[in-house]
């Protein structure tokens, strides 16, 4: 029997709601898995029945054989490891540097107004066009590839995080100023905590941008890594190698994005 205040009834309703959400999530995940499995099966069948040319589109069994071959040669993990390290370095450096610059711009309104047109131009500039320049400056090595990843994500991070800082409730800032808070205290107590969702959104965007920057850099200069395998496979018409590398990229990017989602949950609790 429920209490007069409806406590038990509310608890039962809450349990029913949680069960419904769990069932819904299970259906969504099941549908996602079925779509993936169905696509792979259809791809394999279409290649076997020659509905599509497996030389051009490859097929799952060929890709699996290619992965097994790379594993046997011992080169698979070396190429994957190099690309992952480059991406992680570019992702972290781009996010941290962009956030620091955004803080500096928030700290100085004059500097923000002075740099605003330059940031807009840099944001609209195709970053790939600067690849050859970075290679000349930094040499044909990992540092040029990491720099490309940083540059691709840096300006986007600056603009996104600074925009988040600017949208923080001004009444909270005025309240702290009324109590004599310094600018550093306002940053620590209001701006950064209120901008956690914005920073997390920048992290999510930077996941994709960092992979783009690294792969473009590897296209231009690398002698190892997944970008190198894609270029090499295309040059020698080994499309199985190209597709295998692309699939590895998809899995690695998905895992990295999942890591950001876990970080988001931690950040929300902190906030």
**DSSP one-letter string for 149-216:** HHHHHHHHHHHHHHHHHHTS-HHHHHHHHHTT--HHHHIIIIIHHHTHHHHHHHHHHHHHHHHHHHHH
- On whether the pTM is more than 0.85, the answer is no
For residue 197, is it within any domain? yes
Domain co-membership, 45 together with 63? no
Domain co-membership, 126 together with 236? yes
Q: Is the pLDDT of residue 8 over 60?
A: no
What pLDDT shows up at residue 6?
47
Give pLDDT tens digits for 229-267.
888 888 888 888 888 889 988 888 889 888 888 887 887
At residue 270's C-alpha, the angle toward residues 264 and 271, to 5°, is 85
Domain co-membership, 262 together with 198? yes
Domain co-membership, 263 together with 227? yes
Mean pLDDT of 37-46: 90
Q: Is the pLDDT of residue 48 over 70?
A: yes
Q: Is the pLDDT of residue 149 over 80?
A: yes
Domain co-membership, 100 together with 208? yes
**Confidence band of 34 (pLDDT split at 50, 70, 90):** very high
Domain co-membership, 146 together with 226? yes
Q: Is the pLDDT of residue 193 over 70?
A: yes
Domain co-membership, 109 together with 179? yes
Domain co-membership, 63 together with 112? yes
For residue 2, is it within any domain? no
Burial of 176 (0-12, 13-18, 19+ CB in 10 A): middle
Which domain range does residue 121 map to? Answer: 57-270
Domain co-membership, 106 together with 166? yes
Most confident of 3-7, 117-121, 250-254: 250-254
**Confidence band of 270 (pLDDT split at 50, 70, 90):** low
Q: What is the CATH number of the domain that holds 188?
A: 1.10.3720.10
Percentage of the chain modeled with pLDDT above 90? 4
Domain co-membership, 79 together with 187? yes
Mean pLDDT of 37-56: 87
Alpha-carbon span 114 to 84, nearest angstrom = 36
Counting Cα atoms < 13 Å in the Cβ hemisphere of 160 gives: 22
């Amino acid at each position: 029997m429920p209490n007069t205040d409806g406590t038990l009834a509310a608890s039962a309703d809450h349990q029913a709601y949680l069960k419904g959400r769990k069932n819904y999530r299970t259906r969504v995940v099941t549908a996602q898995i079925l779509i993936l499995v169905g696509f792979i099966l259809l791809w394999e069948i279409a290649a076997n029945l020659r509905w599509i040319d497996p030389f051009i589109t490859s097929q799952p069994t060929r890709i699996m054989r290619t992965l097994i071959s790379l594993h046997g040669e011992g080169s698979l993990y070396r190429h994957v490891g190099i690309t992952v390290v480059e991406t992680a370095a570019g992702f972290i450096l781009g996010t941290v540097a962009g956030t620091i610059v955004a803080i500096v711009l928030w700290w100085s309104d004059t500097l923000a107004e002075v740099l605003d047109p330059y940031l807009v131009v840099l944001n609209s500039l195709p970053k790939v066009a600067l690849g050859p320049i970075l290679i000349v400056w930094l040499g044909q090595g990992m540092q040029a590839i990491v720099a490309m990843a940083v540059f691709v994500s840096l300006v986007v991070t600056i603009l996104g995080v600074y925009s988040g800082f600017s949208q923080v409730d001004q009444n909270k800032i005025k309240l702290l100023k009324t109590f004599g808070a310094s600018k550093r205290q306002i940053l620590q107590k209001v701006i950064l905590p209120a901008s956690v969702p914005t920073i997390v959104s920048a992290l999510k965007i930077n996941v994709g941008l960092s992979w783009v920057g690294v792969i473009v850099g590897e296209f231009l200069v690398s002698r190892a890594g997944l970008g190198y395998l894609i270029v090499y496979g295309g040059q020698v018409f080994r499309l199985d190698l190209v597709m295998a590398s692309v699939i590895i990229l998809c899995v690695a990017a998905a895992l990295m994005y999942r890591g950001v989602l876990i970080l988001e949950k931690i950040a929300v609790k902190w906030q």
